[in-house]
Chain A
Amino acid sequence: MGEVVLKGVGKSYGNVVAVRDVNLTIKDQEFVVLVGPSGCGKSTTLRMIAGLEEITAGVIAIGGRVVNQLPPKDRDIAMVFQNYALYQHMSVRDNLAFGLRNRKVPEAEINKQIAYAVKTLGIEPLLERRPRQLSGGQQQRVALGRCLVRNPAVFLFDEPLSNLDAQLRSAMRLELKELRKRVPTTSIYVTHDQVEAMTLGDRIVVMKDGLVQQVGTPLELYRKPANQFVAGFIGSPAMNFIPMQVATTETDATLSAAGLTLKLNGERAAVLRKSGARDIVFGARPQHFVLNGAGSGLLPFQATLSTSEQLGDQQLLDARVGDTPIRIAGVDPFLRLDDGVNLPLGVIAENIHLFDSKTGLALT
């Protein structure tokens, strides 16, 4: 069983706290992605699970066994590194066999495991080559193979695709997903790329400044971000934020900013009334705007077009509401719009997000 439990895990270097109070239970065979900007503590957390970094607070258990004091080799894990970390002085075959030989596995068994791994990853012709004779994608496959042959309880991935070019990265992402189906091992995957996180993870852990911001499925994070940071981090292009003032009455709430007034009623108004917040941040994803939109379920407002970006399948519009820049995605690529034109917009009411401007927390 490859269940991984983190209880109150923290890491500090002297007075500098890198990770604080991480509580997380990763179920057996689950694929969890740690995501966040650089310096958020995601890699440190992974390295603590691997045993490459000492834990200064809390407990980590793998497969029901507390591993705080165990060296990496006794934790029953395998890890793929950002720069592959293949042993440069060994052939691919020896790279794959290294871990097994250290564990005194009989040669016949090693050969069987290697045969299985190279078949799974399609790297049979590379077995006798040296790592430096391989392309980035091939090296990445060998690094994956080194994990597969060991058949460990947990796979750890430390930004494994970030050294590959964009095209290869998306191809490898698919391969990882395929591999995942064939070898359903508990996996913890660190990345700063939210697209990787969304596409690969069963659940995603968003981190910032050493703190876990939210844990949830990709859809949960996208639809119900717990705070403004998560809302801005997940989704591409990033969510639009407009600081607004709130005025509530018995039945509805009015949000106002320079050049923009929105009227909310029903549940949203009740939420605002209950919170008593005066200053909030209004959030809407670029995909949730409708051009020339009016009608029920849409909140109408006006924006001025700054510029448009043609992507072929759609246009991205950069516009201004008062002083605040916003982006609008999914606009008909054949629509001709002149810069500076007034855009009558509607935003889908059920998809808007409201955040407390002080704490950044979502108002729900």
Chain B
Amino acid sequence: MTAASSTELSLPPVRKGFWAMLAPGGGKMLFALAAIAIAFLFAFPVLWLFLTSIRPESGVYYVHRGTEFTWHNYLEVIQQENIYKAFWNSFAISTLATILSLGVTVTSGYMLSRFKGPIPDTWFSLIYVLRCIPYISWVLPLFFVTRQWGIFDTYWGLLLPHVAVHICFFSWIMKGFFDGIDPSMEYAALIDGCSRWGAFFRVAMPAALPGMTALAILCWLYTWNEFLFALLLTSHKTPILTVVMAQFVHELGMEWHLMSSTAILALIPALIVTIFGQKYVIRGLRV
């Protein structure tokens, strides 16, 4: 035997085991089934919620049985004046909180990313510490503070705590976005005739726009869905959707059917924002 023939070309070894037993394309099929199963796991509660919302009051405990469906729950909900107010308040609070917190978050994230020194260091430590405090432990002090300041059950009473929390959480993310943007672009702008603020507004901020959009959407959804602050820092004057929804559970019983239909209604704006925003969220988080 020569050396050449001892290194004969051989076919790759036949794969054995579970995947080899499947028919061609079986692996992909299995993967698709798994994906559908996981998606169903997440979609199931929403589906159940929707089914509950179109069942008469008597049918809510037997959603899986019976064929009686009705839109009456929705009609009943939209006849309540409080719901419109709550929708508007939730929308206004979410939008204002997004605008206000983004205003601060963008500048604070930029500072954390670009500047070194005692002020950014202190700020960084401060938001780090505040982030570590459990969310729920803020609520009671905030309740007293808002009472003391006379802003309990007003927009400001809910807005300020929301903005404070957002700033702590999102400054970090914003810092990450700016870290990903090459600072020499701003240096070029400084040489091209911009002031430091000009370089920030005209060059750094447009470059961070995908990130900012993603953050704005997350911020809006977060505030829209928030319950704890809304429950404790507002009352009858400023009804908030999540709280109004919870009020269908009262001393006379639980109106699951009405709560479900309100929840489905509340889902619609969030769904619209998510559908329009997911492109930006994914792009932003990839920056």
Mark contacts of B181-207 with chain A using CB atoms, 8 A cut-off: 1 yes-contact digit, 0 otherwise.
Answer: 010110111111111001000010011
Given contacts A85-B184, A87-B185, A87-B203, contact A102 B191 (CB under 8 A): no
| Contact between chains at B184 and A83 (CB < 8 Å) | yes
User: What's the nearest-Cβ distance from chain B to residue A140, in Å?
Assistant: 13
**Which residue from chain A places its CB closest to the CB of B187 in the assembled complex?**
A52
Q: Which of A70-78, A183-191, A346-354 contacts B (4 or more CB under 8 A)?
A: A70-78
User: What's the nearest-Cβ distance from chain A to residue B194, in Å?
Assistant: 6
**Which residue from chain A places its CB closest to the CB of B206 in the assembled complex?**
A89
| Contact between chains at A79 and B191 (CB < 8 Å) | yes
Mark contacts of A73-115 with chain B using CB atoms, 8 A cut-off: 1 yes-contact digit, 0 otherwise.
Answer: 1010111011101111100000000110011000000000000
User: What's the nearest-Cβ distance from chain B to residue A210, in Å?
Assistant: 20
**Which residue from chain B places its CB closest to the CB of A158 in the assembled complex?**
B184
| Contact between chains at B184 and A82 (CB < 8 Å) | yes
Q: Is A50 an interface residue (CB 8 A)?
A: yes
Q: Is B47 an interface residue (CB 8 A)?
A: no
B-side contacts of A103, CB under 8 Å: 193
A-side contacts of B203, CB under 8 Å: 87
Q: Is B92 an interface residue (CB 8 A)?
A: no
Q: Is B271 an interface residue (CB 8 A)?
A: no
User: What's the nearest-Cβ distance from chain B to residue A363, in Å?
Assistant: 43
Question: Measured between alpha carbons, how far is A103 from B140 in the docked complex, in Å?
Answer: 55
Q: Is B209 an interface residue (CB 8 A)?
A: yes
A-side contacts of B198, CB under 8 Å: 102
| Contact between chains at A73 and B193 (CB < 8 Å) | yes
**Which residue from chain B places its CB closest to the CB of A103 in the assembled complex?**
B193
Given contacts A85-B184, A87-B185, A87-B203, contact A72 B191 (CB under 8 A): yes
Interface size class of B (residues with CB under 8 A): 10 to 19
Question: Measured between alpha carbons, how far is A77 from B192 in the docked complex, in Å?
Answer: 9
B-side contacts of A82, CB under 8 Å: 184
Q: Is A146 an interface residue (CB 8 A)?
A: yes
Q: Is the interface of A mostly helix, strand, loop or mixed?
A: loop
B-side contacts of A146, CB under 8 Å: 188, 192
| Contact between chains at B195 and A87 (CB < 8 Å) | no
Q: How many residues of A contact B (CB 8 A)?
A: 24
Question: Measured between alpha carbons, how far is A47 from B185 in the docked complex, in Å?
Answer: 14
Question: Measured between alpha carbons, how far is A73 from B195 in the docked complex, in Å?
Answer: 8
| Contact between chains at B193 and A85 (CB < 8 Å) | no
| Contact between chains at A52 and B190 (CB < 8 Å) | yes
Question: Measured between alpha carbons, how far is A323 from B192 in the docked complex, in Å?
Answer: 56
User: What's the nearest-Cβ distance from chain B to residue A50, in Å?
Assistant: 6
Question: Measured between alpha carbons, how far is A195 from B192 in the docked complex, in Å?
Answer: 30
| Contact between chains at B188 and A81 (CB < 8 Å) | yes
User: What's the nearest-Cβ distance from chain B to residue A96, in Å?
Assistant: 10
B-side contacts of A77, CB under 8 Å: 191
Cross-interface CB contact of B184 among A78, A81, A98, cutoff 8 Å: A81
Question: Measured between alpha carbons, how far is A155 from B124 in the docked complex, in Å?
Answer: 38
User: What's the nearest-Cβ distance from chain B to residue A216, in Å?
Assistant: 29
Given contacts A85-B182, A89-B209, contact A73 B188 (CB under 8 A): no
| Contact between chains at A71 and B195 (CB < 8 Å) | yes
Which one of B191, B203, B206 has the highest number of Cβ atoms from chain A below 10 Å of its Cβ?
B191
B-side contacts of A71, CB under 8 Å: 190, 195
Cross-interface CB contact of B187 among A81, A98, A99, A102, cutoff 8 Å: A81
**Which residue from chain A places its CB closest to the CB of B191 in the assembled complex?**
A72
User: What's the nearest-Cβ distance from chain A to residue B37, in Å?
Assistant: 39
A-side contacts of B188, CB under 8 Å: 79, 81, 85-87, 146
B-side contacts of A72, CB under 8 Å: 187, 190-191
| Contact between chains at A79 and B185 (CB < 8 Å) | no
B-side contacts of A52, CB under 8 Å: 187, 190-191
Would you give 15 A-B contacts (Cβ < 8 Å), ordered by A?
A52-B190, A52-B191, A71-B195, A73-B190, A73-B193, A75-B191, A86-B188, A87-B185, A87-B189, A87-B206, A98-B192, A99-B191, A99-B192, A102-B193, A150-B192
Residues on B lying within 8 angstroms of A by beta carbon are 182, 184-185, 187-195, 198, 203, 206-207, 209
Name 15 extra pairs, CB < 8 A, besides A87-B206, A89-B207.
A50-B191, A51-B190, A51-B191, A52-B187, A73-B191, A79-B187, A81-B184, A82-B184, A83-B182, A85-B188, A87-B203, A99-B193, A102-B194, A102-B198, A146-B188
Q: Which 7 A-B pairs have the closest CB atoms?
A: A102-B193, A99-B192, A85-B184, A85-B188, A89-B206, A81-B184, A72-B190
